[in-house]
A = this chain, B = another copy of it.
Amino acid sequence: MDSRDLRIDQARTSIEFLGSDAHEYLPHLAVDCVVFGVHEGDLRILLTHWTKRDRWSLPGGFVRNDESVDETASRVLRMRTGLDDVFLEQFHTFGSLDRGHPGADRFVSVGYYALVDFSMATPTPDGILTDECRWWNLCGRPDLLFDHDEMVARALGTLRLQLGTRPIGLTLFPDDFTLPELQRLYETVLGRSLDRRNFQKKMRELGILTRVGEKSTENSRRAPYLYRFDAEKYAEALERGDSLAY
């Protein structure tokens, strides 16, 4: 999709939200995406800023008549980040009675979560309803519109359960990282602090890390080691069972 198509696509989604072209979409059905990335060892989340309301929400969109719900989620992710082919999974559908966008009907929303390579994403607002799209540190994010705080909490809960069964760490850390950075990711996902010594011991024993060098630093006495996930051994560990869960 070139930039002009992208623009039309963005406009369409927003126009529908405002009431026109509604016949091109399934009524009452939306998709919202909890997009996670890691930068400088911190778990980040992608949010969009609503111009008129001056509040933040998850990126979302509506289901076209000619696309599956999974395709809607992929399209939303592509529009907001420029990324295709990323880890994107449904985690829960939100169907309570009080769900509705301002001035619009009740919406049932299918929640997806995505794990993306932070450095590859280009956050892009739709330019109509929202004027900004950017990463927030998960722990320092603003209160979100609608029931999106609940969505984030549930997505995190899913991430937590899936640490042992899906390639969460590998997907969030495609490149080098230090063990303290990895520990911070685990702590953010698990919502509790972990003992440094036990964490490092367990991670080393799993046999899924490769040491690739030392981190260049200017002012530390001893540079921390850099690691990378061994994708093959990671897959074998997942195959063996829940050993990656913490």
Which of B29, B66, B92 is close to A97, meaning CB atoms less than 8 Å apart?
B66
| Separation of A27 and B28 alpha carbons in the complex (Å) | 8
| Separation of A29 and B108 alpha carbons in the complex (Å) | 9
Instruction: Point out the residues of chain B lying under 8 angstroms from A93, CB to CB.
Output: 69, 90, 93, 110
Question: Contacts A29-B108, A242-B242 given: A68-B96 contact, CB under 8 Å?
Answer: yes
The tally of residues in A whose CB lies under 8 Å from a CB in B reads 27
The majority secondary structure among interface residues of chain A is mixed
* Number of copies of chain A assembled together: 2
Instruction: Point out the residues of chain B lying under 8 angstroms from A68, CB to CB.
Output: 95-97
Is A63 part of the contact surface with B, judged by Cβ < 8 Å? yes
Is A67 part of the contact surface with B, judged by Cβ < 8 Å? yes
Are A106 and B245 interface neighbours, CB within 8 A?
no
Is A21 part of the contact surface with B, judged by Cβ < 8 Å? no
Which of B63, B66, B92 is close to A90, meaning CB atoms less than 8 Å apart?
B92
Is A70 part of the contact surface with B, judged by Cβ < 8 Å? yes
Which of B108, B161, B164 is close to A63, meaning CB atoms less than 8 Å apart?
B108
Which of B28, B66, B241, B245 is close to A29, meaning CB atoms less than 8 Å apart?
B28
Closest CB pairs A-B (n = 5): A69-B95, A93-B93, A68-B96, A26-B28, A68-B97
**A contact residues vs B (CB 8 Å cutoff):** 26-29, 63, 65-70, 72, 90, 92-93, 95-97, 106, 108, 110, 161, 164-165, 241-242, 245
Q: Told that A29-B108, A69-B95 touch, could you supply 15 new A-B pairs with CB distance under 8 A?
A: A26-B108, A27-B28, A28-B28, A28-B29, A29-B29, A65-B106, A66-B97, A68-B95, A68-B97, A69-B93, A69-B96, A72-B95, A93-B110, A161-B165, A242-B242
23 contacts between A and B (CB under 8 A): A26-B27, A26-B28, A26-B108, A27-B27, A27-B28, A28-B28, A28-B29, A29-B29, A63-B108, A65-B106, A67-B97, A68-B95, A68-B97, A69-B96, A69-B108, A90-B92, A90-B93, A93-B93, A95-B110, A108-B110, A161-B165, A164-B242, A242-B242
